[in-house]
Structure 1
Amino acid sequence: MRIKKIVYYEPLDDLAHLHSKFSNLNIMMNFTKLLVRFNIQYKVSCKFLLTLCIVISVDVFGAKEVDVALVTEHFPPYQIVDQNNVLSGFTTELMIEVMKRSQYRYSINAYPWTVAYNFALKKPNHCIFSIARLSSRENLFTWIGRITENNKAIVWGLKNKQNYKISSLEDIKKYTTAVKRNNAPHQALLEMGFSEGINLYVLDNSNALINILYSRSEIDFIVADDITISYRAKLAGIDINQLHKEYEISNLWSEFYLACNKNTNQKVIDNLTLIIDEIHKDGTYQRLLGNWKNKMSYRK
């Protein structure tokens, strides 16, 4: 599976320095091809190549070992990977601030959600954001701190199909709701008694969520909060006013968190927890949130 976006940060480092190191890695790879092409004597070439590999690999990888590997997904407006593969967004900026204060060497990688989730689940010193704190996940991760405000989960449908009679979650179960695989609505609705293939239609691509309301007549609803729905509509080229709030699901992903693998170094856990608490108390959180408020509004 192709990685959607990789961004690398490290204290006291810069992108030009990083680029030069990866250029060295390309030189090493090209040199290897050259040796094979001209069939240079095995013993001499291997000995030289081994030395070259050691020197360059220390430069490229040794200096780039990280204390914390952050993983995330493209989830506008919290994490945004644009067409130029630049990663931005409110929680992205928040996590950069956290890591700057920590002074840890770190990386931020944006993957498809399932890939990011499994990295954080299985690899020590890997942490994931923005992740909903569901009961089914509670014992799977070490939960560091809240990184978003409360967001209400909304069931959305098309206005021109407003012939539904919805007054409870049980009414929603009579129809078909599209969700993204392994995300919070998917897992939460399964916990609430929904079933794949019966009243849940599972997608691997979140960008298709709104489009599927138009392209598949059997799909009645999607689930998103007030904040992300406007971005999904914009990406799909759809007027958000064509969508209608059908039902508000209580107790579904009220907040997003930073969470780490259960085997992450305890000093890292304690330090990140303290820093996130400080960021909420010293006004940094509200300042960063204020910078993104206009971009994160539902209707204008």
Structure 2
Amino acid sequence: MMRSLVWILLGIASVIQSKPSIGAVDIYTEHFPPYQYRDVDGVVVGHATAMVRALMAKAKLDYKIYLLPWHRAKQQFEGSQGALIYSIARTVEREGLYHWLMPLCDLNVGFYKRVENTQNIASYSLDNLKQYVVGVGVAQPSLEFLRAQGFEDDKLVTLSSLNQAGGLLEKGRIDYLFGAQSFVEQMSRAMGTQNKWELVLDVPELSAKLYLAAHKNTPKNMLHKLTSAKEKLGEAKQNDKKACHTGRYIQKSLSTITDLQ
């Protein structure tokens, strides 16, 4: 009897020890105001970031946020099992590649030009913009969309960060800037060019919901913690999409987590 009891206890201990522990979670993102960016103290903040931090706090998981150019952020994320990424558009092509944890904000995309641009275009369309030089982010669905619509590579200036595109647009080195409207408008305000740029064509085909996503091979116990936390946030009305536009977000539980930022 005693020997049987010992084996039972050893078996229980083995099961407990074999359960994988969750260390600090690596979270990758890009500079994409107002959703995510560094403040004057170097801390990653923004509307989407607040939502992600609240989720991690509710899940009681330690984490570190890495802010990188998008193509590098995506590479690091895809090479790191158990990593998270935001704000990533949920598209048909990406649907089966990741675990889609939590919706964050809405994304609308369009073409911008300088008001003083005197090109004589009576009605803007994708077809009549193909002859002009367009700045667009690299490794983005927007770039693939333009190529699929017949935009030639010699007319596309691909940029690791759309921050660069504002300067190019102002200097006349590109004719149009193609990107997320909220980002372009925020960049325009930061540069003092809000009265110098105008949206000339909205592209509803690229409208999407931005998400926090997990690597496909994320451990099940970690996924369970995150999905449970997301449900609790929803019940507490802490996952409010208005936060994307007003900056209002409840973060009552942030003090319960050790942020390794």
TM range (shorter): 0.7 to 0.9
Counterpart amino acid of residue 202 in structure 2: E
Give the match for residue 70 of structure 2.
Answer: 113
1:224-239 mapped onto 2 (5 Å cutoff)? 224-235=179-190, 237-239=191-193
Please say if residues 126 and 261 of structure 1, whose CA atoms lie closer than 8 Å, have aligned partners that are also in contact: yes
Give the match for residue 132 of structure 2.
Answer: 175
Change in Cα spacing, 1:200 to 1:278, as seen in structure 2 (3 Å) is farther
Q: Which has the higher helix share?
A: 1
Pairwise CA distance, 1:153 = 1.0
Please say if residues 89 and 210 of structure 2, whose CA atoms lie closer than 8 Å, have aligned partners that are also in contact: yes
Secondary structure at the counterpart of residue 246 of structure 1: strand
Give the match for residue 283 of structure 1.
Answer: 237
Pairwise CA distance, 1:157 = 0.8
1:257-268 mapped onto 2 (5 Å cutoff)? 257-268=211-222
Q: 1:254 aligns with which of 208, 222, 231?
A: 208
Unaligned residue ranges in structure 2 (runs of 5+): 1-21, 249-261
Q: Distance in 1 between matches of 2:237 and 2:227?
A: 16
Please say if residues 104 and 244 of structure 2, whose CA atoms lie closer than 8 Å, have aligned partners that are also in contact: no
Q: Distance in 2 between matches of 1:122 and 1:78?
A: 24
Please say if residues 114 and 197 of structure 2, whose CA atoms lie closer than 8 Å, have aligned partners that are also in contact: yes
Q: 2:172 aligns with which of 194, 216, 236?
A: 216
Change in Cα spacing, 1:191 to 1:120, as seen in structure 2 (3 Å) is farther
Give the match for residue 192 of structure 1.
Answer: 149
Change in Cα spacing, 1:107 to 1:278, as seen in structure 2 (3 Å) is same
Q: How many residues align?
A: 226
RMSD: 2.4
Q: Distance in 1 between matches of 2:172 and 2:93?
A: 30
TM-score by length of 1: 0.68
Q: Distance in 1 between matches of 2:56 and 2:41?
A: 24
Change in Cα spacing, 1:208 to 1:289, as seen in structure 2 (3 Å) is closer
Change in Cα spacing, 1:181 to 1:242, as seen in structure 2 (3 Å) is same
Secondary structure at the counterpart of residue 138 of structure 1: coil
TM-score by length of 2: 0.77
